[in-house]
């Protein structure tokens, strides 16, 4: 004899209509209270957490920002790496970095322990600023100048990875930030040398 085929029309066998056990009610209560705690943490963390960026954000015309960045690069250019200018602004300066398909422009050379105002924006589409191998991530959005007060704490030769899918060359979008120590010496340690500059091709 064929066994009965169960469908969604048949009532589920069980005892769901009986009152919940006391332990179950207690756990539902605990889970609900914890939900409220986590919900309260969202606004609380916004004001008390240490993760908020120190920056200011303002609207900007993408083309004007790009022109400003090119002028900045010309002003403080000290060298070149595969066609991209290496730019060394003085401490305290406004530093401009722009993301465009598919490169970060220009290459920055900063001094360890000195504060800069780093401006981030994009020319065309959204890009993701990810300073590798550190855990620093920002959305870079065209039309917004995102100013961050930054003080490089370690000398080194760092890479900027794009972590927002921006098109066919997204994976090649690798930028470079050089941080020199107090003596101003170029850093020999290049632990991320296997990553090539996307703009080099
Ligand atoms: Cu730029 Cu992905």
End-to-end CA distance of the chain: 72
Atom of ligand 1 nearest to the CA of 101: 1
Thinking of the domain 56-197, which architecture would CATH place it in?
Sandwich (2.60)
pLDDT digits (tens, 9 = 90+) for 27-71: 999 999 999 999 999 889 888 876 666 677 889 999 999 999 999
Protein residue with its CA nearest to atom 1 in ligand 1: 127
Residue 89 CA to residue 119 CA, distance in Å, equals 13
CA distance 103 to 55: 23
Tens-place pLDDT, residues 122-134: 999 999 999 887 7
The reply to whether ligand 1 has any atom less than 6 angstroms from the CB of 173 is yes
Distance of CA 79 from the midpoint of ligand 1 (Å): 25
Task: Convert the pLDDT of each residue in 72-99 to its tens digit.
Answer: 999 999 999 888 999 999 999 999 999 9
Ranges of each domain in the chain: 56-197
Residue 118 near ligand 1, beta carbon < 6 Å: no
């Amino acid at each position: 004899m064929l066994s009965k085929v169960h469908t969604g029309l048949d009532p589920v066998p069980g005892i769901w209509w009986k009152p919940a056990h006391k332990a179950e009610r207690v756990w539902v209560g605990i889970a609900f209270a914890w939900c409220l705690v986590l919900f309260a943490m969202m606004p609380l963390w916004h004001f008390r957490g240490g993760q908020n960026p120190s920056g200011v954000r303002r609207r900007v015309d993408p083309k004007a920002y790009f022109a400003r960045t090119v002028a900045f690069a010309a002003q403080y250019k000290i060298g070149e790496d595969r066609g991209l200018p290496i730019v060394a602004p003085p401490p305290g300066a406004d530093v401009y970095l722009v993301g465009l398909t598919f490169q970060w422009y220009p290459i920055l050379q900063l001094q360890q322990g000195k504060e800069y105002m780093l401006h981030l924006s994009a020319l065309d589409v959204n890009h993701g600023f990810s300073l590798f191998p550190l855990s620093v991530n920002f959305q870079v959005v065209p039309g917004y100048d995102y100013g961050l007060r930054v003080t490089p704490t370690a000398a080194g030769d760092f890479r900027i990875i794009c972590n927002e899918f921006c098109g066919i060359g997204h994976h090649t979008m690798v930028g470079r930030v050089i941080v020199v120590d107090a003596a101003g010496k170029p850093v020999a340690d290049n632990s991320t040398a296997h990553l090539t500059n996307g703009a080099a091709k």
